[in-house]
Amino acid sequence: MGLTAWSQDPVISSASSTWVKVKISPETPHPNPLPTPVAFRETFTNNQHAWRQGIQGDYAYVIENGSYTIHRQKPESKRFAYSYISLPENINLNKADSFTVQVDIVGKPGTIPEGGLLIGMLDSLNYCQIRLTDQGQLVIGMVIDGKVSSRYFPGGISSPQRSVRLETNTLAVRRIGNLMHVYINKQEVTTSPFPFRYFMGNHIGVMTGGDGISFRNLLVRLRPPALSKTTLVSN
């Protein structure tokens, strides 16, 4: 099966209890590891990385003015829109002792934008999703061989917090040594960090079940093992 946007199979999503739904805690401090340089930046000024474009299934995908915007074409649809790309060969999330994948998610005025990241993706049957709902919850799920698994993210549910904002939120996933941290607007999820488990693949992408959701400023920061092996694990 090809890995370009036009040949992807539907991503599996679930509303079952196997997914982890988490709300964000403003009390959890933001880790302060050594700065990691930007290894990959997607500005969405063109489509040089071959994102899905045009009308595909129940959604339309548009790259314009620094945004990747997804519009629902069928209001009754319950399916999620998604698109993913290959990272450059010199970027390997499994081999880096420290990485950050981050994106801005922008919605309509007065609403919480629904959308998230796909990381460590092999194909449509093997991936990790970290997604903000329109109710301000964070859904963390791992799919392995097409089956939802909670092996990577046991997680939990915190009380409602203030970190989630209307219209624009920044979602970030950071690995530091053997731990992986998840943030909304620089505030760490209360059940974070999680033990890092190797991903099935090395693709990254975005997903949403909303309408008129835009993704901006997607970037990957990376610190190779030789630079971070001893220092970052202790942070």
pLDDT 10s digits, 166-180: 999 999 999 998 898
What is the 3-state secondary structure of the chain? CCCCHHHCCCCCCCCCCCCEEECECCCCCCCCCCCCCEEEEECCCCCCCCCCCEEECCEEEEEECCEEEEEECCCCCCCCEEEEEECCCCCCCCCCCEEEEEEEEECCCCCCCCEEEEEEEEECCEEEEEEECCCCCEEEEEEECCEEECCCCCCCCCCCCCCCCCCEEEEEEEEECCEEEEEECCEEECCCCEECCCCCCCEEEEEECCCCEEEEEEEEEEECHHHHCCCHHHC
pTM reported for the whole predicted model: 0.81
Task: Per residue of the chain (235 residues), give pLDDT as tens.
Answer: 333 333 344 555 544 434 555 555 444 444 544 457 899 999 999 999 999 999 999 999 999 999 999 999 999 998 999 999 999 999 999 998 899 999 999 999 999 999 999 999 999 889 998 989 888 888 887 888 988 776 655 543 344 456 899 999 999 999 998 898 989 999 987 778 888 888 999 999 999 999 999 999 999 999 866 544 333 333 3
Which CATH class for the 17-234 domain? Answer: mainly beta
Each domain of the chain, given as residue ranges in start order, spans 17-234
